[in-house]
Structures are given as C-alpha cells and as structure tokens.
Amino acid sequence: MNPHATPILVLSLALGTTITISSNHWVLAWTGLEINTLAVIPLISKSHHPRAVEAATKYFLTQAAASALVLFSSMTNAWATGQWDITQLNHPTSCLLLTAAIAIKLGLVPFHFWFPEVLQGSSLMTALLLSTLMKFPPLTLLLMTSKSLNPALLTTMALASAALGGWMGLNQTQTRKILAFSSIAHLGWIAIILVYSPKLALLTFYLYAIMTSAVFMALNKIKALNLSMILTSWTKTPVLNATLMLVLLSLAGLPPLTGFMPKWLIIQELTKQEMTPAAMAIAMLSLLSLFFYLRLAYNSTITLPPNLSNHMKQWYTSKPPSTLTAILASLSILLLPLSPMIHAIV
C-alpha cells in the first residue's frame, strides 16, 4: 500500500465516526457508517495475504448487508411516521430491523459469525481498530434509540453473547481470536444494560476500549500472534509481560483492577431494575471468559520456555514501549478507586 494512503484512510475513519455520532438524520448517520466501512477495508487487506483478502471480503459483505438494513429500517420508519430523526424511531418493525442491523455491525450473537474470522485475517493494529473505534458509531445509534428498543430481545442477545463469547474462547490458541470472543462477551455486558442505563453502557464501552487497546498494543510490541509466541516473550520483555498480565486480569473483571468497575455497576443496576436472574446469569457466564484470560496471563508471566542455560535473561535489545501503551495500561489497572467520580461524571 502507498504510504500516503494510510493517513488518508485514518482521516476517513475519523470523519465517518464523527459524522455518525454527531448526526440526527438517518441518511447522514448511514453515510458515516459507509465511509467507515470503505476506509477500513484497505487496512484489512493491505498485507495482500489470501487470509487478509478473505477477511476484507467477509467484512464488506456483512457490513453492506447491515448498512442496507439500517437504511431500510429508517425508510420504513419515515414512511410510517414521517420522521427522519434518529431519536424518533417509533415503528415496531423499524425497531426490530435496526436492532438486527446494529447487532450485525457490532458482532452480537447470533450475528457474530464474521467477527473472529475478520480479526484473525487482520494485523493486530487493524484488529484493534475493528474492536474499538469501528464499534463506536453503531453503538451510538443504539444509545440514541435506546428508549424504542425491545428490552427482552436485547437481554436475550446479551446473555447469548456472554455465553458464546466465553465458551468459544476456551479452546482458542490464536490471540486475535481470543480477543474477538472477548469482545463478543463484553458486548453482552454493554447490551444487557443499554436500555436501562445508556450512560453506564457508554462507560463500559470506554473502559473496554482502553483495556483492549492496551492488550493489543502490548501483543503488537512482543509480536505475539498465538499462545506459544507469548510463552517465549517473557525473557525478552519481562516488564511488558507483567503489565500485560495485569491488564488481562483487569479485562477479566477482577478486583481491585479497573475492569471490575463496569461489571460491579451493571450488576448493581440490574438488581435495581428487578432483573436479578439476568444479573446472576451474566455474572456466572463471565467465569467462562475468566478462564481464557487467566490462561493468557499464565502464559505471559508464569511459564518459561525450555532453556539450556542457567541465565534466563536473553541478550535481546528491544525498543522501550510507547508512552501511549504505558498510559493505557495504567488506566486499565488503576482506575477502580476513582469509580464514584467517574460514574458521577458520566
């Protein structure tokens, strides 16, 4: 790819995201989603590897179908009510179609089929974009229409996402697929609270984006595409691996780390809404995800590769991690004591 193309594509991603999250008209929001889709496809396929081209094709087909559903949903609503305003989604069929369309764009169960395969075919940094920035515009549309959505449908999809995200991640050895199923499981937590507390759903997404970004950037630094590559990285970058372990435990939601905050607040809010069975179910399902986070953390710090010498520190000169990685990792680990202030601000 031409080196001048990458900044243009990144600017297009920023433009598409800004258009979608700041628009009140369905056509403008749809335009922003399309700009995002067209900008990220070259980033997915830039390696020209057959798997990358396959991932880009799968991404294009699923996103095109989802965008068509968004447009069809908004047109149906406009035909029935005469309103093109995003917040005025009142037609029942339009609500159902929009929920399906956004679920496809986000990768919620049962429309998750494309997400792990696309992430596996992308580079780690492109996978980071797909897991964080590309989910923000569709999630914004869900937040803006949250009063019109069906709570029972979203709760069912959320519990299914938490279950399948945890279950399918258990036997994976590829880090990108593990993080893809982790993303699906976290989307379940966001979807289950979205109707009852949109601000809490947004806070959960922000914290998820911070933690996932820290994990992806650490994995990109140590070039770890699978578990065996993580095994051999401890002797090269011990400090980064120790930090990666803490961020993974935070992503799992263990106290006293940042990731415990959204889970704690969501379970508290669900209990207030008299949804104790759903709160218990999603809390139990998070134990499935905890297993593969612990496996990643165990591989990154506790195990060492076979070595004939007594001196385990390898002669290896590496560049220091970036400042951004350090900041994201610190936020992923240390924010729990500030949770009352953060919750009050959001």
* 97-134 per-position pLDDT tens digit: 999 999 999 999 889 999 999 999 999 999 999 999 99
* Domain segments of the chain as ranges: 1-149, 160-346
pLDDT value of position 319: 59
The pLDDT of 248-272, averaged and rounded, is 92
Q: Which residue has the tokens 């729990």?
A: 336
- Exposed (0-12), middle (13-18) or buried (19+): which is 147, by Cβ within 10 Å? exposed
Q: pTM, whole model, 2 decimals?
A: 0.91
Cα-based torsion angle of the residue sequence 229, 231, 237, 241 in order, rounded to the nearest 10 degrees: 110
pLDDT band at 341 (very low <50, low <70, confident <90, very high): confident
The predicted pLDDT at position 325 comes to 87
Sign of CA dihedral 258, 137, 163, 169: negative
- pLDDT (0 to 100) of residue 303: 67
pLDDT single digits (tens) 288-326: 999 989 988 888 887 665 655 554 455 555 556 688 888
Judged against a pLDDT cut of 70, whether residue 263 lies above it is answered with yes
* pLDDT reported for residue 6: 85
By C-alpha distance, which of 90, 87, 66, 65 is closest to 76?
Answer: 90
Q: Which two tokens stand for residue 5?
A: 């193309």
pLDDT for the residue numbered 224: 85
The 10s digit of each residue's pLDDT in 58-79 is 999 999 999 999 999 999 999 9
Q: Cα–chain-centroid distance for residue 289?
A: 14
- Residue type (1 letter), 191: A
Query: What's the chain's average pLDDT?
Result: 88
Model confidence pLDDT, tens digit, residues 194-237 = 999 999 999 999 999 999 999 999 999 888 888 888 887 877 78
Residue pLDDT, tens place only, 4-38: 788 899 999 999 999 999 999 999 999 999 999 99
CB 210 within 8 A of CB 224: no
* pLDDT, tens digit (0-9, with 9 covering 90-100), for 134-158: 999 999 999 999 888 889 999 999 9
Answer whether residue 82 shows pLDDT above 90: no
Element (H, E) at 11: helix 5-22
